[in-house]
A and B are shown apart, each in its own frame.
Chain A
Amino acid sequence: MKKRKERIDRGIKARSEDIFALSSYREMLYLLVPRAIPVVGLLGVAPFLSPYWQEVFISTSIYALLAISWDLLISAGLVSLGQSLFYGIGSYIAGALNHYCGWSPLFTIPVAALGGGLLCTVLLLPVLRLRGIYFAMVMLVLPLMLSRLVEATRILGGTEGLPGLTPFPNQLIALYVVQLAVLAALFGFRRIMASDYGLVVKGINDNDRSVMSAGINIYLYKTQILFIGASVGSFAGALGTHIDMFAGMPGFALDYAIMPIAAAVVGGMRTFVGPMLGAFLLVPLSEILRALGALRIVFYGLFLVVFIVALPEGIFPYVQRKYHQLERWVELE
C-alpha cells in the first residue's frame, strides 16, 4: 500500500486572517496564546530569578535586541556583520552625554538611540547601494576601525573608557526596561513587516530590480530600515552601557557582531521571534557551559553545528509549522 504524509492547515488559521478570529474563545486563544508566551515569559519570570540569573537575563535581552535588529536588516537584504557598530556607537553616545554633561539615563538613552541610528545611517549611506558581501564587509570593518580610532586618538577616554556612569536605580528596573524594549521591538517589527511597507521591504530583498520597476526608490526604504535597525542597536548599546556603568572599546567587540547572527540562524531568520528565541537559548547556554572551563567554546561550537545541521530552518519556523499544521498519513488511490 502506497502512503503519503499529508499536511492540513488547522481550520482556525485559515479563517483567522480577519474579524472571524473574534468569533469564538477557541479561535481567540489559538491566536493569543502564542503571542502571550513571550510577554508572560519575559515579564513574569524575571522577578523570581536569583540576582545572578537576572544579570544573565539582562545581557541576554540586550543580545536579543541586537539579534532582532539584525533580523530587520536581513529582511531588507542588508547582511550586517557589525551589530557591534550600533552597540558601540550607542554606548559611546550615552556614555559621553552622561560622563561629560551629566545627563540622566532618562535622556541619554533616547538621545543615544536616535543619534546612534542617525550616525550609523550616515556612516553606512555610501555603501547602501552595494549588496551582499560589500555591505557586510564595510559593516565588519567600521567597528574595528572606530575602536582603533578611539585607542589612537585617546578621545572619549581612550583605552580606559568612560567609567562611573549613572546606573539604573535597581536591577529589577533595568531588567524591565530591557525586556519592554525587546517586546516593543519584537511586536513592532512584526507589525511593520506585516504591513504593506513590509511587503516593499521584503520585495527589495527578493528582487530589487522589480521593486525599482514599480517606481519605488529602494534606497530610501533601505535607509529607513537601516535607521530603524541601527536605532534599536544603539538603544541596546545605551542600555548596556548604563547597566555596566562603563562605556569603552569593548562596545565594539566582535561578540556583539557574532552572537546576533548565531541567534538568528539557530532561531530562524526573518521571523523576529526566532532571533529572540535564539538569543535566549545561546546566551544562557554559554553561561551554563562556564562550568566546563576551557572546553566551553568546543561544546558551544559543537552545539551550534549540530543544531544548524539538524534544523536548518531554525527553531521558530519549525514550531510555528507544527502549531499551524496537522500531519497525517493518507493512502494513495
Chain B
Amino acid sequence: MLSVNNLMVFFENALALNDFSMEVKKGQIVGVIGSNSAGKTTLMNTLSGLIIDMRIKEKRRGGERITVYGEIIFDGEDISETRPNERVKKGIVLCRERHPIFPESSVNENLKISGYLRNRSQVRDITQQVFELFPALVDLKSRKAGFLSGGEQQMLAIGMALVAGPRLLLLDEPLLGLSPMMQNLFVDCIKSLRSESGITVLLSEQFARPVLPMIDHGYVIENGMLTLAGTGQELMDNPEIKAAYFGV
C-alpha cells in the first residue's frame, strides 16, 4: 500500500532521516520504534506531506532550509511532491503528536471540523463509531476540548483523524503521556480499528513494550537511520531491543 524508498530529510545541515526505506502492506499495523530525536516525527510529517508546507514557509521566512529526497509510493503512485490536502483525499491521514485538537471548540465541533469536506451522513456514521470506540467521550460531547484530560484529548485526536476518512492512518506517538492502563486501552482501540474498519495503521512510538505485541511489522529507527526491521515477535525476541527498550 505504501512504500518508502531511500528517504532523506535535511533540516538545514542536520540530517533528520538518512536513507530510510520501509513498506506498509494493506491491513497491517506497522510500528516505527525509536527514542526521542530518532526522526519519527519527521518521518510522519514527510509521509503526510506537512513537510512540503513547512519547507515553503521556512523558505519564505528565510529560516531553515528543508531538503527532501526519496520516493513515497502510495497505491503505486509517487506522492512525494503531493500537497498534504491531496494526500488526505487519497486516504493518508495523520494524527499529530501531543493531542492536536482545537482547544477552543467543543468535542462535537472538533469532529465536525475534520469531517467538513465529507458528506454529512458519512460523518454522522463515523462520529457514531468514534463514540462507540471511545465511550468516555460521549458525556463530554459539548465540553470545550481544551479542558479535556490528556487521555481524552488523545481519544478525540484519533477520532478526528478517523472522521477525515483514512485508508492509511498515521499515528504519531499515540501513547505519549498516558498511563500504562490508558496505553492498553489505546492499543486495544488500534487493534479494533484494523479488525472492524479495515484501516491500515502506521504508528510511531517510543514505548516498545505495549506496541511490539500488536504490530505485524516493525522498524527500529535511530538517529534517522533504519537499524532493525522485522515482525513484532522477531523484534521482541531481539536481545538488543530487549536491552534498549525493555530494560532487561
Q: A residues bordering B, Cβ < 8 Å?
A: 2, 4-8, 312-313, 317-318, 321, 332
- Verify A5–B69 contact, CB threshold 8 A: no
Complex contacts, A6 vs chain B, CB 8 Å: 13
Query: Nearest-CB distance from A14 to chain B (Å)?
Result: 14
A313's contact among B62, B67, B69, by CB below 8 Å, is which? B62
The 3 closest A-B pairs by CB, nearest first: A313-B62, A4-B67, A313-B61
Q: B37-88: which have CB < 8 Å to A?
A: 60-63, 65, 67, 69
How far does the Cβ of A155 sit from chain B's closest Cβ, in whole Å? 44
Are B62 and A332 in contact (CB-based, < 8 A)?
A: no
Main secondary structure of the interface of B (DSSP, over half): mixed
Query: In the bound complex, do residue A318 and residue B67 qualify as a contact, i.e. CB atoms below 8 Å apart?
Result: no
Q: Which of B13, B61, B69 contacts A332 (CB 8 A)?
A: B69
Q: Report the minimal beta-carbon distance from B7 to chain A, rounded to whole angstroms.
A: 12
Complex contacts, B234 vs chain A, CB 8 Å: none
Given A312-B61, A313-B61, A313-B62: A7 touches B13 (CB 8 Å cut-off): yes
* Residue in chain B with minimal CB distance to A311: B62
Q: When chains A and B are docked, how far (Å) is the Cα of A6 from the Cα of B60?
A: 17
The answer to whether B10 and A317 have CB atoms under 8 Å apart is: no
Chain B residues within 8 Å of A332, by CB: 8, 69
**Interface size of B in residues (CB-CB distance below 8 Å):** 11
Residues of A within 8 A of B63 (CB): 313
Provide the bound-state CA to CA distance between A313 and B10, in Å: 22
Contact of B62 among A2, A5, A8, A318 (CB under 8 A): A318
Bound-complex Cα distance A16 to B67 (A): 29
* A71, chain B: closest CB distance, angstroms: 17
Closest to A2 in B: B69
Task: Give the Cβ gap from A231 to chain B, nearest Cβ, in Å.
Answer: 32
Contacts of A313 in B (CB 8 A): 60-63
State in angstroms the CA–CA spacing of A318 and B102 once bound together.
34
Instruction: List chain A residues, Cβ under 8 A from B60.
Output: 312-313
B104 within 8 A of A: no
A270 CA to B60 CA in the complex, in Å?
A: 17
Q: Chain A residues near B13 (CB, 8 Å)?
A: 6-8
16 contacts between A and B (CB under 8 A): A2-B69, A4-B67, A5-B65, A7-B12, A7-B13, A7-B65, A8-B13, A312-B60, A312-B61, A313-B60, A313-B61, A313-B62, A313-B63, A317-B62, A321-B62, A332-B69
Does A4 contact B62, Cβ atoms closer than 8 Å?
A: no
> In the complex, what residue of chain B is closest to A317 when comparing beta carbons?
B62
Nearest-neighbour CB distance to chain B for A309, whole angstroms, equals: 9
For B69, the chain A residues whose CB sits under 8 A away are: 2, 332
Cβ–Cβ < 8 Å partners of A312 in chain B: 60-61
Chain A residues with Cβ under 8 A from B61's Cβ? 312-313
B131 to chain A, nearest CB (A): 32
CB distance from B64 to the nearest CB of A (A): 9
CB distance from B63 to the nearest CB of A (A): 8
B residues 163-208 touching A (CB-CB < 8 Å): none
Of the listed residues B13, B61, B62, B63, the one surrounded by the most CB atoms of chain A closer than 10 A to its CB is: B62
Docked Cα-Cα span, A313 to B64, in Å, equals: 12
Docked complex Cα distance between A250 and B228 (Å): 72
Residues of chain B in range 1-58 having any CB-CB distance to chain A below 8 Å: 8, 10, 12-13
